[in-house]
Amino acid sequence: MANINYKIDQFAALFFAALISFAFFYPKKQIHFVLQWNFVPTYLFEWKSYLRKNTILAILGYFILVISSYNPASLILCGIFTFDFIGAIFEPNESKDMLEMYFKKYDFIFKLKKNVAFFNLLLLPTYTGFLIFNYTESFYLLYYAIFMNLYFILILTRKYKIYNFKERGNYYGMIVFLEYFFCSILIIPAIFVIKQNIREAKQNIRIYVGN
């Protein structure tokens, strides 16, 4: 048993070292290897745009996300690092014309549901891997799923709550990260913030699209 625990701890230490190295030392210049990502639907345009511009980074990050399912500590830690990717995906603002065209075809709840569904589809291998390796600790997976989804919804709803076509982005940064990180940890505050964000996002979209 001692040998098994030692091997697990050794793996966790190596995983954390690799994760931290990836976060701080991944190439800042874009590597010219681009996939079209045509299987991503057009109504998930933020995902498609980010993946096309950051193909290598996205693939490496996703690989680390999947193998993080090996134990609870790596699962939670990698989930926190994933928040930076979520912020980057939804940080840019689309043009006013694109926003009008999109929300005349789809409503905000449709956008929210489709993005959450795609996000959880991406997380499915991680969910499955954790259940295989840690089937007796499924509580961690339940908390992880809630934690990740709350943060994701907070970021997406915030984008349209403060959307302004004159701004190129919505200024995702450390303050936003910390605020939504602690809301997601506590769960209940996140639910109240999400309700408020959805209401204000719909109001803000109506300014550009109308009823």
| Structure token pair of residue 197 | 């964000």
Q: State the pLDDT at residue 9.
A: 53
Residue 31 confidence (pLDDT): 46
pLDDT for 101: 95
CA distance 113 to 109: 6
Tell which residue, 81, 63, 75, 66, has the closest CA to residue 138.
75
- Per-chain mean pLDDT for the chain: 87
Q: How much is the pLDDT for 4?
A: 44
Cβ contacts of residue 38 below 8 Å, gap of 6+?
none
Burial label, 189 (beta-carbon count in 10 A; 0-12, 13-18, 19+): middle
Can you give the pLDDT at residue 6? 44
Model confidence pLDDT, tens digit, residues 10-42: 555 555 455 445 444 444 444 444 567 888 999
CB-based burial of residue 127 (10 Å sphere; 0-12 exposed, 13-18 middle, 19+ buried)?
Answer: middle
The tokens of 141 are what? Answer: 């997976």
With cut-offs at 50, 70 and 90, classify the pLDDT of residue 211.
Answer: low
Q: How far apart are CA 69 and CA 132, in angstroms?
A: 9
pTM for the complete prediction?
A: 0.85
CA angle 148, 119, 193 (to 5 degrees): 45
pLDDT tens track for 36-69:
788 899 999 999 999 999 999 999 999 999 999 9
